[in-house]
Amino acid sequence: MPEHRITNLAALGDTSVLLHRTALAQTPAVLGTSTTSSELKVVMTSPSLKKYAQYFADWPLRDGPEKPSVPLRTVNSWKNFVKALEEFAVIDKLYMFFHGTPGSMVAGGDIKRLDAVAKLLASVQLKVRNEILIESCNVAENPAPLVPFAEALRAPKISAWNHYHVFDEVPPLTVPQGTPREDLEAVLLPYNSYLVPRSPTVDQILAKPGKWRLVVEWFRQDDNNAKLPTDPDDLESRTKIFRPRSEAKRRTIKSDEVEALREEYASSASRNLERVTITLPTP
């Protein structure tokens, strides 16, 4: 992977633009980030997605740079998934980073529908007080299995995506002491609106010179791991295929509406990027 080593503005061209902040301001509701520091958030991940899940635990989901990272558990089987959940009595928000397909997720190479996973949770006494947030690909395209999974964890709501969810890293970024702000902004320009929400800001990076790791994400309808285009000529047109989180609509349905949504998705060749939230009846 090539490295971004910031030298001087002349070498980078004279483009100067403020780091895109609109997406960061719009996305907390879609990301499900906390508004109170007393919430307990936990991240569950498969080994193949750990580096991205860890980034979320270190930046978007923590309550501030001075706060500890969100607890993260890496599991390589559904048995280990159950064991990890048994560590907790109460979680406010449970984030899940696994490979997914409609209505299903993968742990240790074992793909299971979430209603089948729910049957494995009989020994788990955990209560999710706020929400389960699934960051996997396409799970919401078949939303019915999410309902028994949420019920098994006593969660009032559960959310998932109806698109493929792709992560990647920005080429390693080296920021020397005294780097002009406009130089850093020029380097980050191609990644505007695709940086993971609440990533380090320009000011935070400049205040701590050295090597930085940044993560980008996007969503697309087809299963394609093509890299995010960063050529200046592609920056305007790429959002048609590489959809940023800021374009997502939050769609809330009741648990008895899941089959209607599945049929709607199945009958449409093209759809909006949606974060689907299913609310369950109050016991």
Q: What CA–CA distances, in Å, run from 26 to 179, 227, 253?
A: 29, 24, 21
Tell me: pLDDT of 12 over 50: no
Output DSSP code: residue 48.
G
Cα separation of the two ends of the chain: 51
Q: Which CATH class is domain 32-165+247-279?
A: alpha beta
Nearest-angstrom CA–CA distance, 188 and 228: 13
DSSP secondary structure string, 152-179? HTT-SEEEEESSEEEEEE---EEE-TT-
Model confidence pLDDT, tens digit, residues 80-95: 999 999 999 999 999 9
Q: Which residue has the tokens 């907790």?
A: 88
Model confidence pLDDT, tens digit, residues 160-218: 999 999 999 999 999 999 999 999 999 999 998 999 999 999 999 999 999 999 999 99
Q: Which residue type occupies 158?
A: I
Model confidence pLDDT, tens digit, residues 14-23: 222 233 332 3
**pTM for this entry:** 0.87
Smallest Cα–Cα separation from 82: which of 42, 118, 46?
A: 118
Smallest Cα–Cα separation from 238: which of 214, 218, 211, 264?
A: 218
Smallest Cα–Cα separation from 236: which of 245, 248, 225, 244?
A: 244
Smallest Cα–Cα separation from 276: which of 268, 263, 267, 262?
A: 262
**Domain coordinates of the chain in residue numbers?**
4-20+172-240, 32-165+247-279
Q: Which helix (H) or strand (E) holds 79?
A: helix 78-85
Backbone CA torsion sign across 243, 250, 52, 143: negative
pLDDT at residue 89 in the model: 97
Output DSSP code: residue 20.
P
